[in-house]
Structure 1
């Protein structure tokens, strides 16, 4: 008798678990990137957006390095790029600045509200609206008046991107270079969690006129690589919305309901098993 009951009970019990598993798995159907690319060995060509170099903006921090045959000759210029630890706000003298973002500290020359930087010996330069290459050429021309065969490197020290929402490591990230795609930023943030809504990612971007432009990005489509927002700009803000599955997971009331229903189903199965016996 007991053996017959146990057999019937454990026969029906997996049905409950399978039903619950099927219901939970149904919310994962949209987690695949670029779902419009067929699963085959066929080579597919995907157009990539043209990359446009970003322009220097007010409050950017620029790493400016001037090198000559004698390194000590440009020491006072390059000191503005020495990293300073445990600095929480932008500050400095002679136009230099440093900024700490979490465990990352960057330093360089701050572009002031008038769009200028003050470089020791070389003087004041208006850099707003220039690319890093153009800024390097302007500074190199001025450096040529003081140094022979000087070379100049200008890079962003605070090309920062904010990635938040349903990603593994939401944070503000200082990127190592200025050519950064939306895929690069999400990878740095540890990729989307299982609850991230891949078809409706929000990108906010400064338009340089005191307002922001909002884009919606669908990672299920490969054509994002040919869109103007594919390559990011400094200070871009990326927000990954949660799916309904995340809301359900956080809904304690729904969790209790599922638990109650599961208990009722278990009791019903036990009763049916006894009656059939």
Structure 2
């Protein structure tokens, strides 16, 4: 009977440990990087292309100061909202909205079909049109609403508007304050809208192969979801664990009393 009591007590500790603990190896990023060859080739970066409902921030500068007012009107009086870390849901970034036909219209310069083009290609197109009115115009084009959404087990889940087109998975997680200790690093989900279809890509951030993925670099409107790990499940089942612990303790006491009778 004494052996049985010891076994019951041991099982209770094992059960609590399995439910409450997360192995250290599950919390470490890229734990399998080879020590003898730490160099890793990143996945190929492809420039994002303009999509329907994107908002383009377009500015035109000229060497003739007298044309500054006209140039400013052509730029739409754009105010740079894209440098904000978090999207302000109460305001819409200023700029040129890509309509359902994939086009934008600029005063004086006309209508441009921009869907499917990179910002560099749009800049070349606008520069050519502006050259008919201005001497050596300098045109800058970038996304005003390049946003990434990070959800799940991160410190600050939210939608983030970023000033750069070149953003990767780790950048996005960093903006969201990193994963919590309860996040499942082996199962990070990327949801991407690709021509009206949804793509679902999963990453294991315990492995360095994440860097080589063609999806390592993000595109506008990507959604990252960090699933809860075992620690979160254990936290949500705290009541059940407590009940099992009490039941096992009570069983241990009863067994101990029986052995002494």
TM-score (norm 2): 0.82
Give the Cα separation in 2 of the matches to 1:26 and 1:62.
Answer: 45
Aligned length: 241
Structure 2 residue 66 is the aligned partner of structure 1 residue 79? no
* Offset, 1:111: 0.3
* Offset, 1:56: 0.5
Q: Helix, strand or coil for the counterpart of 1:140?
A: helix
| Alignment map for 1:233-244 (pairs within 5 Å) | 233-244=219-230
User: Structure 1 stretch 248-257 or stretch 64-73: which is displaced more?
Assistant: 248-257
Structure 2 residue 206 is the aligned partner of structure 1 residue 220? yes
Give the Cα separation in 1 of the matches to 2:204 and 2:244.
Answer: 32
Aligned counterpart, 1:160? 147
Give the Cα separation in 2 of the matches to 1:243 and 1:222.
Answer: 20
1:63–1:140 Cα change, 3 Å: same
Give the Cα separation in 1 of the matches to 2:225 and 2:234.
Answer: 20
Q: Helix, strand or coil for the counterpart of 1:224?
A: helix
Give the Cα separation in 1 of the matches to 2:92 and 2:185.
Answer: 32
Question: Alignment RMSD, CA only?
Answer: 2.8
1:179 equivalent among 157, 166, 173 = 166
Higher relative contact order (CA 8 A, sep 6+): 2
* Offset, 1:264: 3.9
5+ residue gaps, structure 1, are 1-15, 85-99
Aligned counterpart, 1:248? 234
* Deviation readout 1:49-102 (Å, 9 max, x if unpaired): 121111100000110000012222312122341258xxxxxxxxxxxxxxx634
Give the Cα separation in 1 of the matches to 2:154 and 2:91.
Answer: 20
Give the Cα separation in 1 of the matches to 2:193 and 2:89.
Answer: 23
1:137 equivalent among 124, 144, 151 = 124
Give the Cα separation in 2 of the matches to 1:221 and 1:143.
Answer: 49
8 Å CA contact 2:16–2:241 kept in 1: the answer is no
8 Å CA contact 2:47–2:118 kept in 1: the answer is yes
TM-score (norm 1): 0.77
5+ residue gaps, structure 2, are 1-11, 82-86
* Offset, 1:267: 5.9
